[in-house]
């Protein structure tokens, strides 16, 4: 596949679809699902609660992205045109330096048990330490398929803390969930192991739940952009690169700027998460918590000028899946995964991280040169004109 789709935004919808078929990103028989949104009322009723209808958003394609030497067309669900345009432009800039390099760590998720009324915390910790194998057996017992795929509980830890409701013991499991996002699997494991923990500690298990801070399930993305490709009509590439580095440094020292900096990254990541049926809310929560891991909220990415290269680096947790939940149930989520040629959760996480990095690059370049509003509002004006010409009823 070649993700370099020059002039893709100028094509009609029919021409864009034909281009995707010709590039083998989509099979011809997948095109009807693009009309319907892939979701029927019957399926919506099974997926949701109190369903009364369907609510649609545009499904767009981000172009030009290369991840680990492989071209990827990126499905993005968003109502914001500048997000897709920015991602495609940022990917084109990064492409000049070979694209984005990514590496995802193993799919470890954490499950937690809150245990109250423990009569002796020291003895409870000793009992847990002696029963690690039994804890693992109890936690993994509900998941024979996960174990057959090489997943399951990897480690246990515990600590006692004092809260306004009294002392509590927090028991935590690290579970390899393989290609799933993992929430259901982890929650089930925590509920399964709770009775054993109560017997071992003499306490009362209250909360049995996963953590959405997947700080052992981290993706790192990086790229090197030749400064020459950053030039504008009235600004040399080296000047643009220096300004991008300066704006990036602004986010490192000011929390108000850091939040907006990270929001730009999440613009791209969330759009891919929605397109693939992943839990963008959990991704957002984990990302912003990770941005505060050093005690002060900071940027998830940094951009530095190194010789004649602008170097970008992004690191964040991404708990995403390609099996289970809406990803499995929603036909268009499956179509979007096929469009990317993705079969593993780690591959999806890498594409999402790369999307966030190039999205950030495009935003910083605009901010450092013409200003964020010029291109942003130009796209909004085009959308407003199209809506004004539409005769669709409200």
Structure confidence by residue, pLDDT tens digits, 241-280: 999 999 999 999 999 999 999 999 999 999 999 999 999 9
Q: Which of 2-16, 57-71, 101-115 has the lowest mean pLDDT?
A: 2-16
Catalytic residue among 176, 279, 347, 350: 279
Angle (nearest 5°) at CA 132 between 131 and 138: 90
Record: fold of 8-105+218-389 = 3.90.770
Task: Verify whether residue 35 is a known catalytic residue.
Answer: no
Whether the per-residue pLDDT at 383 is higher than 70: the answer is: no
Record: fold of 108-211 = Alpha-Beta Plaits (3.30.70)
Average pLDDT over residues 157-178: 97
Q: What is the pLDDT of residue 281?
A: 96
Task: Verify whether residue 288 is a known catalytic residue.
Answer: no
Q: Which residue, 17, 119, 2, is CA-closest to 60? A: 17
Whether the per-residue pLDDT at 379 is higher than 60: the answer is: no
Distance between CA atoms of residues 329 and 327, nearest Å: 6
Q: Which of 316-330, 340-354, 367-381 has the lowest mean pLDDT?
A: 367-381
Average pLDDT over residues 318-336: 89
Q: What is the pLDDT of residue 394?
A: 39
Q: What is the pLDDT of residue 389?
A: 55
Residue 345 burial (10 A CB sphere; 0-12, 13-18, 19+): buried
Whether the per-residue pLDDT at 390 is higher than 70: the answer is: no
Angle (nearest 5°) at CA 173 between 214 and 284: 15
Q: What is the pLDDT of residue 6?
A: 85
Average pLDDT over residues 331-340: 91
Rounded to two decimals, the pTM is 0.91
Task: Verify whether residue 49 is a known catalytic residue.
Answer: no
Catalytic residue among 263, 284, 288, 315: 263
Task: Label residue 331 by pLDDT band (50, 70, 90).
Answer: confident
Domain boundaries, the chain: 8-105+218-389, 108-211
Q: What is the pLDDT of residue 371?
A: 83
Catalytic residue among 89, 143, 261, 376: 376
Q: pLDDT tens, 72-87?
A: 999 999 999 999 999 9
Q: What is the pLDDT of residue 393?
A: 43
Task: Label residue 375 by pLDDT band (50, 70, 90).
Answer: low
What would you report as the CA-atom Rg of the chain, rounded to the nearest whole angstrom?
23
367 vs 379, higher pLDDT = 367
Average pLDDT over residues 354-370: 96
Whether the per-residue pLDDT at 380 is higher than 60: the answer is: no
Provide the token pair at 306. 């190194």
**Average pLDDT taken over every residue of the chain:** 93
Task: Verify whether residue 141 is a known catalytic residue.
Answer: no
**What dihedral do alpha carbons 292, 294, 296, 302 form, nearest 10°?**
-80
Q: Which residue, 276, 289, 291, is CA-closest to 351? A: 276
Average pLDDT over residues 142-170: 97
Q: Which of 6-15, 129-138, 257-266, 284-293 has the lowest mean pLDDT?
A: 6-15
Q: What is the pLDDT of residue 156?
A: 98
Q: Which of 19-23, 92-96, 119-123, 340-344 has the lowest mean pLDDT?
A: 19-23
Average pLDDT over residues 311-331: 92
Q: What is the pLDDT of residue 351?
A: 98
Average pLDDT over residues 377-385: 58
Whether the per-residue pLDDT at 288 is higher than 80: the answer is: yes
């Amino acid at each position: 596949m070649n993700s370099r789709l020059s002039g893709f935004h100028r094509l009609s919808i029919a021409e864009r679809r034909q281009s995707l078929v010709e590039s083998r990103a989509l099979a011809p028989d997948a095109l009807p699902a693009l009309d319907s949104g892939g979701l029927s009322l019957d399926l919506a009723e099974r997926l949701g609660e109190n369903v009364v209808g369907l609510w649609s958003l545009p499904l767009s394609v981000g172009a030009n992205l290369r991840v680990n030497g492989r071209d990827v067309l990126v499905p993005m669900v968003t109502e914001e045109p500048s997000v897709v345009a920015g991602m495609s432009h940022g990917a084109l800039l990064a492409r000049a330096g070979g694209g984005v390099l990514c590496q995802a760590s193993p799919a470890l998720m954490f499950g937690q048990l809150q245990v109250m009324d423990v009569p002796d915390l020291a003895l409870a910790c000793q009992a847990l330490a002696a029963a690690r194998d039994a804890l693992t057996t109890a936690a993994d017992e509900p998941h024979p398929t996960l174990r057959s795929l090489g997943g399951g509980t990897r480690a246990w830890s515990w600590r006692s803390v004092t809260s306004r409701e009294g002392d509590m013991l927090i028991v935590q499991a690290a579970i390899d969930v393989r290609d799933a996002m993992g929430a259901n699997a982890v929650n089930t494991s925590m509920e399964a192991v709770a009775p054993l923990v109560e017997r071992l500690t003499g306490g009362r298990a209250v909360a049995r739940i996963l953590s959405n801070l997947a700080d052992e399930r981290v993706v790192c993305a990086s790229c090197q952009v030749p400064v020459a490709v950053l030039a504008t009509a009235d600004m040399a590439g080296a000047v643009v690169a220096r300004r991008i580095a300066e704006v990036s440094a602004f986010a490192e020292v000011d929390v108000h700027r850091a939040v907006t900096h990270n929001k730009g990254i999440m613009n791209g990541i969330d759009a891919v998460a929605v397109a693939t049926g992943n839990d963008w809310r959990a991704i957002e929560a984990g990302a912003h918590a990770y941005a505060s891991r050093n005690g002060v909220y900071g940027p998830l990415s940094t951009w530095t000028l190194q010789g004649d290269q602008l170097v970008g680096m992004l690191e964040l947790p991404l708990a995403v899946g390609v099996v289970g939940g809406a990803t499995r149930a929603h036909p268009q989520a499956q179509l979007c995964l096929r469009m990317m040629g993705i079969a593993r959760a780690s591959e999806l996480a890498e594409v999402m991280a790369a999307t966030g990095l190039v999205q950030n690059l495009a935003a910083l370049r605009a901010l450092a040169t013409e200003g964020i509003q010029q291109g942003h509002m130009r796209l909004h004006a085009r959308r407003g004109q199209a809506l004004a010409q539409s005769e669709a009823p409200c």
